[in-house]
Amino acid sequence: MATTLETFTAGVETAVDVVAVERQLHELWRLAAESESGQVTRACLFNLVAYAETEEARDHATNVISELTSRDPCRAIVLLAKPDQPVAELSASITAHCHLAGGGKQVCCEQISIEAAGASVEHLASTVLPLLESDLPTVVWWPGNFLLRPQIFTRLGAVADRVLFDTSQWEKPAEHLGALSKTIAAMPGCNFADLSWTRLGLWRKLAAEMFDEPHCREELTRLNSVEIVHGCGPGASLRALLYGSWVASQLRWSPADVKTRVRLQARDDRDATSVGILSVTLRSDDATFLIQKKHGERTATAKISMPDICGLPRTRAFWPADDTSLLSQELDHTQRHVVYERALALAAQLAGNQ
């Protein structure tokens, strides 16, 4: 099918020769600039390389990118790798994600989809590298376990400024925490972000905020336990472990203390919020700091109980975090997650694989 400006900006995928991708895109944007309406603007702030190994994961990535580009315009390169296929094949297609901006104008971003099968998977990185927009950061979004594909990951990771992954989607993630921690430490030039950690952002913020209040700050050094009640949904226990490790590592609890002070408790609740944590209780001898989320309610409440304190709960909105909003949050954050790395190292110890 011939690619026209209309089909391109309407989000229809059109197959193109892998070597002709750049030329084809250039031609389409030229047509857009010269169109009578002049209503299409191309925007691009970074390269986003998404990696998938199933059609379902590829389609999910495309849907997320379609939403994401309304807030974070980028050149998206979506890779579908099928290394187990017997025949080597490499194909490409292009499309655009367009969003209405002010004045009836459309802001559009291009997506290049590349599918590699069999031995061609080994050449994926060499296909991607020339397609990266120059002078813009490159973000690799690899939801699965990249430790299992060292050959491709090493080449893509070498050009990435950031790698976004999601241990919640890994099989038996606790078994890989040690290797993950070492891989991250071995790549100091690249910022890694685990969406499991991103999901904990509001929970960490709520805990931190309780100790912003001056009368509570002194209690921080007196905290002697953290109890995390978590659901049984995918990744919930891992996130609880990361959260407990975060508290312990930030408060500099000794390794001996950590095992007795960090308590994780599973409750049979699949928790639709995708965070998986149901409550967190931090305790000192005199005070209790409780964060709670009611199932099905889009709010979280933080309550402090200590002598001479009014103790009114603080209620704030707490919205479900889908992949689009998680990615968007991470794209706002450009620094290395040193706090995560510290918590991860401790979590790996606690999980017994480091």
* Residues at the site binding other proteins, with contacts judged by CB under 8 A: 41, 43, 45, 70-73, 99, 101-103, 107, 201-202, 204-209, 211-214, 217, 220, 247, 250-252, 297-299, 301-302, 304, 309-317, 332-333, 335, 337-340
CB of 96 vs other proteins, minimal distance in Å: 14
Residue with tokens 């290394």: 83
CB of 73 vs other proteins, minimal distance in Å: 6
Considering the complex, state which of residue 72 and residue 110 has its C-beta at the smaller distance from other proteins: 72
Considering the complex, state which of residue 260 and residue 299 has its C-beta at the smaller distance from other proteins: 299
Considering the complex, state which of residue 27 and residue 122 has its C-beta at the smaller distance from other proteins: 27
Considering the complex, state which of residue 172 and residue 252 has its C-beta at the smaller distance from other proteins: 252
CB of 319 vs other proteins, minimal distance in Å: 9
Q: Are 285 and 272 in contact (CB under 8 A)?
A: no
Structure tokens at 19: 């070597």
Beta strands in 243-347 (DSSP E): 262-266, 277-283, 288-293, 299-305, 314-317
Considering the complex, state which of residue 85 and residue 325 has its C-beta at the smaller distance from other proteins: 325
CA distances (Å), origin 299, targets 31, 108, 110, 319, 320: 48, 34, 36, 7, 10
Distance of alpha carbon 37 from alpha carbon 270, whole angstroms: 50
Distance of alpha carbon 343 from alpha carbon 349, whole angstroms: 10
Sign of the alpha-carbon dihedral angle for 11, 16, 21, 23: negative
What one-character-per-residue DSSP string does 45-63 give? SSEEEEEESSHHHHHHHHH
CB of 137 vs other proteins, minimal distance in Å: 14
CB of 83 vs other proteins, minimal distance in Å: 36
Considering the complex, state which of residue 41 and residue 85 has its C-beta at the smaller distance from other proteins: 41
Residues 6+ apart with CB under 8 A from 56: none
CB of 90 vs other proteins, minimal distance in Å: 33
